[in-house]
Structure 1
Amino acid sequence: MVDGIYTLANDVVYNQLVALLNSIEVNVGSSLPVCVIAYDDRADRVRAEIATRKNVTLLEDPALLTRWEDFSSEVWATHPTALKTWERQEISGVYRLGMHRRFCAFDPDALFERFIYLDADTLVMNSLDNIFSSLDHHDFIVYDFQYKSPRHAYNLQSSRLQEIFPEPRIKSEIFCAGMYASKRGIFDQNQRNWLISQLQADEAEVLCMSAPDQSVLNYMVMRSQIPVHNLALNLPKNQITGNAVTSNHFIANNNILYDKDSQLTYLHYIGLSSKLFNQICDGENVDFPYRDIFLHYRYLHESEKRPHFKGKPKLYNAPPSLTKRVMKKLGLAR
């Protein structure tokens, strides 16, 4: 049985990808294979980085990528307003279609029989053995608290939503698409065709246009009646930790984060733009939560290149100055 980790990246998130790969190397090991799915064709730096790592490969198979892009395009073609709305926003085709490439991991011809998917803006903080062992008993595993905010998975204004997914399922099965574990082949061609047929039968309106790939994945899993095993709801209470950068109470010890006395499995820099990570790697003194943890893993093998900041850092979410607010009001600044 071949286990492995998938992520999704291009050169835009190169710095985050390096940090993720280094965190896997340190906290999981270098024997577990990792496959980077190409988000798009901008991958020159990614290819060069992967060439230096024996356990990392790049998925660029046009046939495999096209198969799942076509499926995702079929999904959104069933939506009553999505394509027209995105077109008015000057978006060609499906919004963030490259994000849907993560579905390649489910393909019957995919590399790993069992896998953990991690967004590139993630750092692994602990062994992943417990997640892989859980796949002995479950087909789909997550570890997050997205169920508390279902609006990032579905259109809550849809009158069909609770007909398709009763409220108890909405409150317990919704998950974040930034980390999940599953198995190849669980969405074969027949199942994909069936899902499209249900969406065509007026179910597509439940999808969330602002988080398209996350919404589609939630629909695929829940509509297929695949039980979602969320560790945040199933682990003993004293072992459950947070995992989002929005939690400000984590304690760092030797470049590992702890929630009270429990070691995090992963840290997800969710909601932070890749521009922030590129800015600090270029030496700009912008501060955001757990910045030093990121810098440690990013420059694990290139300590001489780690930026040295001077002066007081600028908060990433600091309100604009009065001068900038005035200039923006006058149309002289963005």
Structure 2
Amino acid sequence: MDGICTLCNDRMFDQLVALLNSIEVIYGSQMPVCIFPYDEQTEKIAAEIAKRPQVFIYDDQESIDRWDEFMRQARPDKMDSTKKFRLYGSHRRFCAFDGPFDKFVYMDADILLLDTLDLIFAKLDEYDCVTYDFQFYHPEFVYNVQSPKLLEVFDENRLRNEIFCAGFYASKRGLFDETERRWLIEQLQAGEAEIFKTTGHDQPVANYMFMRTNKRICNLSHVLPEGTATGCTVTSKHFEEKDHALYDNGNRVTYLHYVGISPRIPEAICAGENLKLPYRDLFLHYRFLHEPEKRPVFSEPPPEKPKAPPSLLKRAMNKLKLLR
């Protein structure tokens, strides 16, 4: 069985609803969706998906614990001053390698699906990992490009062709068994961990896992006919919107990734705050697809710059006024 996976907690509720609705527009209720829990805060999500029988929360605790431990060993540098590991749940996307789908497309919850994934699923017959982005233009967001060891581990050609954004990729169940996971940890503990981007978390690890084990990686941006590959992030301002889809120089965009945008912004917009967000109307269309009466209506364009929060001194003075 094929399916879509994502990762979320209640903090990203509005973005998750928009993603699920966008998937339904493309696939109806035929495409199963598995949500990996970022943490235990999933009450709102559970209530929402109760009316979506094709959507479920991953509950294989043994699998979750296994990947939690893998990340503890892969990124021991992610520790605070008390040497207590600070566990970020974003690596739990790796649970997809345990199931429940034979082939899966993983996408972050801050994504809108705008076209079918048929080609991506089909390419998994030839490859172990299929991606569609331009992350390879910025290897510094994945690896420590200043590390002399980087080119000892991966040659330049592989860095130019195989690096991908871990927010969207397709792969298969059964990759990275216990033997392979143990081998990866051994290489990292032997010194290869220094090639990781120091401020990264699971994205460097995802790239390293596929590349270090010589998995077959296909980035559609490299192989599609010239002039047909599209962008995918909200940082691209030239997309044209038509019928609630986006087009890049006439080519339909497969997905739109609201990368780098705090979930507080779409959450505030959905609550009626007039804030700026790239392709805001498109996001609101999908977020309130099944409840248009709740969609906020803005009579004015959003301000170019958000209003700065009051300073600590000003907040203290305001509080004193209230107490008088």
Indicate whether the TM-score tops 0.5. Answer: yes
Task: Give 1:260 shift.
Answer: 1.2
Distance, in Å, in 1 between the alignment partners of 2:204 and 2:269 is 31
Does the residue aligned with 2:190 lie in a helix, a strand or coil? helix
1:190-205 correspondence to structure 2 within 5 Å: 190-205=179-194
Distance, in Å, in 2 between the alignment partners of 1:193 and 1:331 is 53
Question: Is this contact kept in 2: 1:123–1:266, CA < 8 A?
Answer: yes
Structure 2 counterpart of 1:93: 85
| Deviation by residue 1:52-77 (Cα, 9 ceiling, x = unmatched) | 10111111222111111111111113
Check 1:232–1:320 CA distance in 2 against 1; reply closer, same or farther (3 A cut): same
Which stretches of structure 1, 4 residues or longer, exceed 4 Å deviation after superposition?
330-333
Task: Give 1:211 shift.
Answer: 2.0
Distance, in Å, in 2 between the alignment partners of 1:138 and 1:55 is 27
1:253 maps to 2:242: yes
Task: Give 1:174 shift.
Answer: 0.6
Task: Give 1:94 shift.
Answer: 3.8
Check 1:91–1:34 CA distance in 2 against 1; reply closer, same or farther (3 A cut): farther
| Deviation by residue 1:140-167 (Cα, 9 ceiling, x = unmatched) | 1000000000111111221211110112
Structure 2 counterpart of 1:146: 135
Check 1:221–1:296 CA distance in 2 against 1; reply closer, same or farther (3 A cut): same
Question: Is this contact kept in 2: 1:281–1:306, CA < 8 A?
Answer: yes
Check 1:215–1:332 CA distance in 2 against 1; reply closer, same or farther (3 A cut): farther
Distance, in Å, in 1 between the alignment partners of 2:56 and 2:83 is 30
Question: Is this contact kept in 2: 1:28–1:126, CA < 8 A?
Answer: no
TM-score, scaled to structure 1: 0.90
- The correspondence for 1:271, drawn from 245, 260, 271, is 260
Does the residue aligned with 1:117 lie in a helix, a strand or coil? strand
RMSD: 1.8
Check 1:36–1:91 CA distance in 2 against 1; reply closer, same or farther (3 A cut): farther
Check 1:267–1:312 CA distance in 2 against 1; reply closer, same or farther (3 A cut): closer
Question: Is this contact kept in 1: 2:266–2:277, CA < 8 A?
Answer: no
Distance, in Å, in 1 between the alignment partners of 2:123 and 2:148 is 35
The amino acid of 1:18's aligned partner reads V
The amino acid of 1:266's aligned partner reads Y
Structure 1 counterpart of 2:68: 69
Check 1:144–1:214 CA distance in 2 against 1; reply closer, same or farther (3 A cut): same
Distance, in Å, in 1 between the alignment partners of 2:170 and 2:111 is 15
Task: Give 1:92 shift.
Answer: 4.9
Task: Give 1:172 shift.
Answer: 1.5
The amino acid of 1:106's aligned partner reads F
| Deviation by residue 1:198-256 (Cα, 9 ceiling, x = unmatched) | 11111111112322100100010100011210001111123210001000000000100
Does the residue aligned with 1:267 lie in a helix, a strand or coil? strand
Task: Give 1:304 shift.
Answer: 0.7
1:175-190 correspondence to structure 2 within 5 Å: 175-190=164-179
Distance, in Å, in 1 between the alignment partners of 2:307 and 2:267 is 21
The amino acid of 1:99's aligned partner reads S
Question: Is this contact kept in 2: 1:28–1:128, CA < 8 A?
Answer: no
Task: Give 1:314 shift.
Answer: 2.2
Question: Is this contact kept in 1: 2:129–2:169, CA < 8 A?
Answer: yes
Identity %: 48
Distance, in Å, in 2 between the alignment partners of 1:46 and 1:121 is 15
Does the residue aligned with 2:246 lie in a helix, a strand or coil? strand
The amino acid of 1:103's aligned partner reads F
Return 5+ residue gaps in structure 2 as ranges. 316-324
Question: Is this contact kept in 2: 1:119–1:179, CA < 8 A?
Answer: yes
Structure 2 counterpart of 1:43: 42
